[in-house]
Structure 1
Amino acid sequence: MLKRRTLNTALASAALALFVPHAALAQGANPARLRVALLPDENASTLIQNAQPLKQYLERTLKKEVEIVVTTDYSSMIEAMRFGRIEVAYFGPFSYVLAKSKAPDIEPFAVGVERGSPTYQSVLIATAGGPVAKLDDVRGKPFGFGDQASTSSHLAPRAHLLKKVGLDGEKDYRPVHLGTHDAVARAVQAGQVPAGALSKPILDNLVKRGTVDASKIVQLDLTAAIPNYPIVVQGKLAPELKQAIKKAFLEMNDKEVLKSFRVESFAATDDRAYDVLRDTAGVLKLDLARMK
């Protein structure tokens, strides 16, 4: 287990690296050091600590130094990819769509497989014994979402509320953005917001770890299937390096390494798999070009 000081140093270094001017960070098409970014959907220290087996696997497989990066939020991760400050990233489905709209050269190549499927669901939850017992009860109340660019903690459940019970977040309830999936679960558990939404696999993991008490929340509903989180690479990297990176992820079979992603394996994917999220953004009348 990493010491707190080591984790804090790693976080500070990663944050500093992301905001150094782009010219100073240019490493060429085959850099000696690969920066691999993980989506900031939970506490950054926990993510970096849990990703140490991943770091060791990639360094051993690719014969390169690897730096694990966790940005402050989804938008800073998108910008880091856009300006070449990271080479590989594990995006949420919708944050990938946003990143692709700003950085057309990036390439999704692998998608997480859970329970034999490359899809997952968002779960809408409420405080046990609270004022929300069914979806209709959300009307007129606060509703907890994660980051604005989150698929399963914003886009999918927001569209679900609109399509399933006609609740529009612009007028029928009050969206409260809490940043991360675990923050949503804790806020609903404590009754700070009466209901909210997050990734079902993340909620299951939080309950398993004891971070969330399952008896203090109730499940309201599940969204339709969502294409899982993609692994994305900078398109301008040398072809042989891109191929090696893709091979490393698609052939990954170590359970300790895969635990970093909460998946059992990776399967090949491409940009077309995420068109469904572009369609969902259209239902919600979201302008991708204007979103951070």
Structure 2
Amino acid sequence: MKNKTFSRFVAAALLLAAAFAAQAQQVFRITAIPDESPTELARKAEPLAKYLEKKLGTKVEFTPVTDYAAAVEALVNKQVDLAWFGGFTFVQASQRSGGKIVPLVQREEDEKFRSVFITTNPAIRSLADLKGHNFSFGSQSSTSGHLMPRSFLLSAGIDPDRDLKRVAYSGAHDATVAAVASGKVDAGALNISVWEKLVADKKVDPAKVRVFYTTPTYFDYNWSVHADMPAATREKLARAFLELSPGTPEGKEILGLQRATRFLPTKADNYKGIEGAARNAGLLK
């Protein structure tokens, strides 16, 4: 009798453990490249996670990562379900996974994205004037903070590694602005939307730190998933982003935090130009 009771107890415990495991597996995890401070990323993610919870019918959690490479690995290895990538990190993730990363949606703004070059030095008026000066990119894996600025510098006949006095990598767009504003470097390049947000929030004085060059447009950020995600989940997720509207309080808040007018479907072919620029700059093999 005691053995039967013990067996029932063990069976119940195993069922309970299985239930907890199933519940844990139902958490939908999202992450983002750390192109801004951790507090800003968390602030942007919170209302989006709540919105997706309602649309997907499952718990959604934001999982921060330490650097761009970690964001790539997290989605490639299916440790997260959805990742906010720059164009270059998407290309890296696609290559790393053997083409199994799917770009789902992008902001309307990402069809014609740009980078800005900033300085406090009155002698710097053009890209050519950067020669012999200290310069900061963002993260080495950043599209708008490194790859495309480097690409446009090379197109202008300036090799950053040869023609600049020193090249630094700040790790994030807002950190690049801080480095230029404090005089740690003479100039830097960053994402135009982060720059405009910092100016609007009065976190930088454009009379002291000024834009001296704005790049031509290129495709950039997207929300990506792994190709192994069930088609029904992928469709539901895409629809949730496409339905966000500034006409509702919830949509207005989320789109505002994402710096988006609206979200649009995207495809891998949109990032062929980024891949080409990365290969030409020697950043992708």
TM over 0.5, yes or no?
Answer: yes
Q: Which residue of 2 aligns with 1:94?
A: 88
Q: Which residue of 1 aligns with 2:268?
A: 271
Corresponding residue to 2:116 among 112, 123, 133: 123
Q: Which residue of 1 aligns with 2:213?
A: 221
Do the aligned residues in 2 keep the contact of 1:153 with 1:181 (CA within 8 Å)?
Answer: yes
- 1:197 matches 2:189: yes
What aligned pairs does 1:42-81 form with structure 2 within 5 A after superposition? 42-81=36-75
* 85-94 or 30-39, which deviates more: 30-39
Do the aligned residues in 2 keep the contact of 1:187 with 1:193 (CA within 8 Å)?
Answer: yes
Aligned equivalents of 1:260 and 1:234: distance in 2? 25
Give the match's secondary structure for 2:135. Answer: strand
Q: Which residue of 1 aligns with 2:104?
A: 109
Do the aligned residues in 2 keep the contact of 1:106 with 1:235 (CA within 8 Å)?
Answer: yes
- 1:184 matches 2:179: no
Measured after TM superposition, the shift of residue 31 of structure 1 is 4.7
**Cα displacement string for residues 130-182 of structure 1 (whole angstroms, at most 9, x for unaligned residues):** x5332212112211100001011001111111112x11122111221010000
Do the aligned residues in 2 keep the contact of 1:143 with 1:195 (CA within 8 Å)?
Answer: yes
Q: Which residue of 2 aligns with 1:168?
A: 159
Measured after TM superposition, the shift of residue 229 of structure 1 is 0.7
- 1:211 matches 2:203: yes
Do the aligned residues in 2 keep the contact of 1:127 with 1:190 (CA within 8 Å)?
Answer: no
Give the AA of the match of 2:108.
Answer: V
Do the aligned residues in 2 keep the contact of 1:125 with 1:221 (CA within 8 Å)?
Answer: yes
Aligned equivalents of 1:159 and 1:265: distance in 2? 28
Do the aligned residues in 2 keep the contact of 1:105 with 1:235 (CA within 8 Å)?
Answer: yes
Give the match's secondary structure for 2:36. Answer: coil
Give the AA of the match of 1:111.
Answer: Q
Do the aligned residues in 1 keep the contact of 2:34 with 2:68 (CA within 8 Å)?
Answer: yes
Give the AA of the match of 1:172.
Answer: D
Aligned-pair identity in percent equals: 33
Do the aligned residues in 1 keep the contact of 2:44 with 2:258 (CA within 8 Å)?
Answer: no
- 1:280 matches 2:260: no
Do the aligned residues in 2 keep the contact of 1:55 with 1:68 (CA within 8 Å)?
Answer: yes
CA RMSD of aligned residues (A): 1.8
Contiguous gaps of at least 5 residues in structure 2: 1-20, 246-250
**Cα displacement string for residues 20-58 of structure 1 (whole angstroms, at most 9, x for unaligned residues):** xxxxxxx99x95111111221111122112322111111
Give the AA of the match of 2:111.
Answer: P
Do the aligned residues in 1 keep the contact of 2:144 with 2:220 (CA within 8 Å)?
Answer: no
| TM-score, scaled relative to structure 1 | 0.84
Aligned equivalents of 2:117 and 2:83: distance in 1? 27
Do the aligned residues in 2 keep the contact of 1:97 with 1:277 (CA within 8 Å)?
Answer: yes
Measured after TM superposition, the shift of residue 69 of structure 1 is 2.0
Give the match's secondary structure for 2:260. Answer: coil
